[in-house]
Amino acid sequence: MKKNIFGLSIFAFIILLGCAKAPKKVLLIFSYHPEYSWVVEQTKGVEEILTEKVFGQEDETIIQNSKYNIEKFYLDTKRKTSLEWKTEISEKAVEKINQFKPDIVIVFDDNACELVAKQYIGKKLPFVFCGMNGEPSDYGFPAENITGVIERLHINESYKLLKQILPDVEKIAFITDNSITSQKIVSRINKTDFSAEISEIFTTNDLEKWKTKIKDFQTNVDAIGIILYHIIKEEGKRIPSEEVIHWTLENNQLPEFVFWDFVIADGTFCGVTISGYEQGKAAAEIAVRILNEEKPSEIQISRTNMVIPMINLERTKQLNLKIDEEILKKYGR
């Protein structure tokens, strides 16, 4: 009798194992490299939704992926910008998809939309995009199998914060590298109604031209909007973004207004910033809906709404700015 009960128990256990659902496969394809602070924040947002965090021995955090099997792929297009690299890495991304056979792919930022997701328009594999600065129509989205989250910088809001802090600012300029993301943002700036006079929107990937323009701005404008500085080169070699922004802050005596929290963290003055963490969470939430059998075509493209006004207190001291104490208490970081 005991043998029969034991045998039935084993049989029931095998049946339960057979009925258990295999973890859904989620592939994350990032436009940039894993150490890039924007990617770090996006990853945190995704993992908050798709993973369970429990405390193990000695309070070490263990991430358990019981429902989702997550793998990551990095296009690394901030550090490697050539057409040859983009062609090569997009082919490798497709190879990764074929090898991993994901149930869904989340692509992050414009390059991943352009280089990877566009190739799958109208196919069976569902995609969710995240951090898109361009228009969805630039990439042929939405599609029956593709939806996601657009990224929209608080450009005018950042200027208004600067104006609230420093009412005498009247004439501004923008400077940025010439990445795909920057091009999309410049296009949007050109359509934005500012109360300030825009002296110039300067775009370059050349370090010496960047330096010359920063110096020129010192006597021509009241403030500088710094967009991105991550693919600047000298004699064809990419210069680390930390070096570019360090030189810029050392040689710029004008207040800067910016649009991402990681640019504030790099040492710039102020901005109404957006959150990569929030972007990642929103994309992962859409992915979960699709994995729960909602159709991508029935999920509207959305936009995250978090606004984070920030003033860099250290930069305030460096620029020797006199700012209302209440404003500093409200926005100072």
pTM for the model: 0.82
Give the architecture (CATH level 2) of 23-151+276-303: 3-Layer(aba) Sandwich (3.40)
Residue listed under structure tokens 């570019």? 244
Angle at 308 between CA 306 and CA 313, to 5 degrees: 170
The pLDDT, as a whole number, for residue 59 is: 47
Supply the mean pLDDT for the chain: 90
Who's near 224: CB < 8 A, 6+ residues apart? 172, 173, 174, 175, 214, 217, 252, 254, 255, 256, 257
**Are 23-151+276-303 and 155-274+308-331 equal in CATH topology?**
yes
pLDDT (tens digit, 9 = 90+) per residue, 135-144? Answer: 999 999 999 9
Cα-based angle 139, 274, 125 (whole degrees, multiple of 5): 35
Q: What is the arithmetic mean of pLDDT over 299-315?
A: 92
Structure tokens of 26? 């989620």
pLDDT tens across 120-136, in order? 999 999 999 999 999 99
CB of 110 closer than 8 Å to CB of 152 = no
CA distance 54 to 270: 37
Asked if residue 142 has a cis previous peptide bond (ω within 30° of 0), the answer is: yes
Radius of gyration of the chain (CA): 24
User: What average pLDDT does the segment 68-85 reach?
Assistant: 95
Q: Are 250 and 237 spatial neighbours (Cβ–Cβ below 8 Å)?
A: no
CA pair distance 290, 102, nearest whole angstrom: 13
**Chain segment 259-280, per-residue pLDDT in tens:** 998 999 999 999 999 989 999 9
Question: What length is written for the chain?
Answer: 333
Q: Residue 307: how many CB atoms within 10 A of its CB?
A: 13
Position 191 scores a pLDDT of: 86
Q: What is the pLDDT of residues 196-219, one digit of tens each?
A: 889 999 999 999 999 999 999 999
- Domains of the chain, by residue range, sit at 23-151+276-303, 155-274+308-331
Q: Tell me, which fold does domain 155-274+308-331 have in CATH? A: Rossmann fold (3.40.50)
Q: How far is CA 319 from CA 168, 200, 220, 249, 262, in A?
A: 15, 22, 17, 10, 20
Q: CB within 8 A of 127, min separation 6: which ones?
A: 104, 105, 106, 107, 117, 120, 145, 146, 147, 148, 296
Q: Decide: residue 38, CB within 10 A, 0-12 exposed, 13-18 middle, 19+ buried.
A: buried
Give the three-class secondary structure for 242: helix
